[in-house]
Chain A
């Protein structure tokens, strides 16, 4: 069922850690210009699924398709090279470096011309590109030479997301981007996610916050005990249904073996 049009498609992906079955036959598609929210209770397998996509864990079985082609993601580098960028919850920014330095960390540009012979960094070009990159996004960062350690949680999240866009990825995976953010900062990050969609990126957002999910996502994918417990178009479902799928409660009819209003 390699569904047409999906930039990223998982088919029957399973992963176990010793006796613990973390993922069991999960099918998931992300299309270009679509925001898919991945929800589920603690231990439902969300993080494992993200790590499989990001190449940190290899799946035990199942297939991954990227742009319709079967691919093998066995390391984080594989994922990045395919065009899958992952922003983890802890952001992994260097507080002692400024925005430009963080954006280009690990892929710094070397100057051309005479100073290039001395392996000099091209600070001017990197700063210029940082302005371009941030200028295209709804960010609230004014000084790209300010240390990241001086910034608010929302701004740090913006830097981390902008950083993931540097290689022009087709799929952006965001792990709990609004956790620990205030109301206004959450709104800023949600705005940024909408922009990613408008620019044609496929976005997979992990979130605990159903209000945020319903504010920004096109589809909600529910994991429960490592299995798919539902895949809903946001317009055709309600928070109650999703909660029921997450908890496996019997009062809604969408519990158990999933598959509510798909498409």
Chain B
């Protein structure tokens, strides 16, 4: 057993712990293991380009707007990531987000339901749609592509029917509009920052302690301290920027909160492990006693539910639901985001973080082009180009992995 001799003293034994030579980091970066770092570099590049063209881009006000702009698509992408991890796809998320938002708006505005009940009803509709699509996909073994394509059309029809003859429902309820127009005071913002940093540092250091206590190799303390410092710097910078404008927006917290919850579910729970297993090798998962049908149905339910939540946030920001809600490019951007940020279309590889990072990439491009006064034609072409570039980089990384004997 090669690792039986873990260092007795944590402070003194750094040298014998897992070595991480610099060349190794470079190699891993090129072969796509550090995909998230690649995306961060891409974001920095995009921001630098726009800032050079338009000095308003990196102002606190505009960055706060960016947060509000990416909330809806980011939330939908969280669900899309889960489906992509299974190696499936859900083309109905845009239509589902529109339909669920319409359900909420109509119940609240036309039927006088309380905002909480109306929001809950919208999410329940999302759950039901996800269950139906997952069930049909499983039962008949029809490709998810087709099932959700049918869903895209049908739910769009339901959207028009729910909206009725007026075609537009304006939302005035302050609880619903508050979802995207609430900003917290500086003090609350800093409190959130402190809690977040303390939690991250605690989890990281405790995890290292546990590994050392069990005689397992653990990352050296200095590298962990650097990681914690980087995260702390990022959190502090974000809160400082947001505070210098309107404050930390509730919408941003909702987005980050869902990302963290699903990151936990996918990486730290049995169910999450099974998602990766089914996406990696369905037959192996089946033989390991995992219920493939159960995993699939739950994932489709989660995906449609997240689409509903994204739709609610979009409606809150737009102050209305209309016939084009959840239409146009929303679906494509919600799928393109995670793919740009490194989640594989073939299943088993990727992370929930890619939903957030992808939304930032796409949102930044869109926001920057708007500031520059470019037409939407340019916006679409550039976004398409970035998506293509991202998948090409991913394909090269995959070849690199294959060349070093990896799949």
Contact = CB atoms under 8 A, between A and B. Distances in A.
Given A77-B289, A94-B348, A95-B407, A108 B273 contact: yes
Nearest to B288: A106
Contacts of B406: 147, 149-150
B11 interface: no
A198 interface: no
Contacts of A92: 281, 283-284, 287-288
Interface in B254-285: 264, 268-271, 273-274, 276-277, 279-281, 283-285
A110 B271 CA distance: 11
Interface string B373-407: 00000000000000000000000000000001111
A92 B289 CA distance: 12
A253 interface: no
Contact of B284 (A105, A124, A128): A105
A110 to B, nearest CB: 7
Contacts of B4: 131, 135
Interface stretch (B45-53, B165-173, B209-217): B209-217
A262 interface: no
Contacts of B405: 150, 152
A97 interface: yes
Interface in A104-128: 105-108, 110, 118-121, 124-125, 127-128
A147 B274 CA distance: 16
A120 B281 contact: no
Nearest to A150: B406
A128 B214 contact: yes
B81 to A, nearest CB: 15
Nearest to B344: A96
B330 to A, nearest CB: 29
A93 interface: yes
A254 B356 CA distance: 70
Interface residues of B, number: 34
A105 B2 CA distance: 23
A147 B288 CA distance: 18
Interface in A38-60: none
Contacts of B285: 94, 105-106
Interface string A125-159: 10110011011000000100001011010000000
A124 B269 contact: no
A242 to B, nearest CB: 31
B276 A119 contact: no
Nearest to B348: A96
B56 interface: no
B349 interface: yes
A105 B215 contact: no
A131 B268 contact: no
A105 B288 contact: yes
A34 interface: no
A128 B349 contact: no
Ranked nearest first, the 8 interchain pairs of A and B with the lowest CB-CB distance are A106-B288, A96-B280, A135-B1, A94-B280, A92-B284, A96-B348, A149-B407, A106-B289
Interface of A: 76-77, 88, 90-97, 101, 105-108, 110, 118-121, 124-125, 127-128, 131-132, 134-135, 142, 147, 149-150, 152
